[in-house]
Chains A and B, each alone.
Chain A
Amino acid sequence: MAKISEKQVGHVAKLARLGLTRDEVKKFSGQLSAVFEYIEVLEEVDTSDVVETSQVTGLENVKEKDEVVKWEVSGKELSGEDLLESSGLPVESKQILVKAAVKKS
Chain B
Amino acid sequence: MSDLNKLTIKEVADGLRSKKFSSEDVMKDCLARIDERNGDLNAFVTVDSDGALEGARLADKRLAAGEDDGVLMGVPMALKDLFNTAGVRTTCCSPGLKEFVPPYNATVVDRLSDAGAVMVGKTNMDEFACGASCEYGCFGAAKNPHDLTKVAGGSSGGSVVAVADDMSIFALGTDTGGSIRQPSSFCGTYGLKVTYGRVSRSGVTAFASSWDTIGPIGKSVEDISYVLQAIAGQDRRDMTTPPVKVPDYTGFLGKGVKGMKIGLPKEYFGEGVEKETRDVVMEAVGRLEKAGAEVVEVSLPMTKYAVAVYYVCAPAELSANMERYDGIRYGSLPSKDGEDLVDHYFKQRGEGFGDEVKRRIMIGTYVLSAGYMDAYYKHAMKVRTLIIKDFNKAFEKVDVLVGPVSPFPAFGIGDKAEDPVAMYTADSLTIPASCAGVPSLACPAGVSADGLPIGLQIIAPQFEEGRCLQVGEMV
Contacts and interface: CB of A to CB of B under 8 A. Distances in A.
A4 B380 CA distance: 19
Given A16-B319, A18-B346, A57-B196, A103 B99 contact: no
B358 A101 contact: no
A47 B386 CA distance: 8
Interface of A is mostly: loop
B255 interface: no
A66 interface: no
Interface string A82-95: 11011111000000
Interface in A45-80: 45, 47, 50-57, 59, 62, 64, 69, 71, 73-74, 78
Given A12-B362, A17-B345, A62-B239, A86 B308 contact: no
A14 B351 CA distance: 15
A17 B329 CA distance: 15
Interface in B348-364: 349-351, 353, 355, 358-359, 361-364
Given A54-B210, A54-B381, A98 B358 contact: no
B379 A42 contact: yes
Given A20-B358, A39-B312, A71 B104 contact: yes
B383 A20 contact: no
Contact of A42 (B242, B312, B339): B312
Interface of B is mostly: helix
A78 B104 contact: yes
Contact of A16 (B311, B365, B424, B436): B365
A83 B103 CA distance: 6
B269 to A, nearest CB: 20
Interface residue range, chain B: 35 or more
Interface of A: 4, 8-9, 12-13, 15-21, 24, 28, 31-32, 34-36, 38-39, 41-42, 44-45, 47, 50-57, 59, 62, 64, 69, 71, 73-74, 78, 82-83, 85-89, 96, 98-103
Interface of B: 86, 99-105, 195-197, 210, 236, 239-240, 242, 302, 304-305, 307-309, 311-312, 319, 326, 328-329, 332, 338-342, 344-347, 349-351, 353, 355, 358-359, 361-366, 369, 376, 378-386, 388, 418-421, 424-425, 436-437, 462
Given A52-B378, A53-B385, A62-B240, 7 more contacts: A13-B362, A19-B346, A19-B350, A24-B358, A31-B420, A38-B307, A87-B329
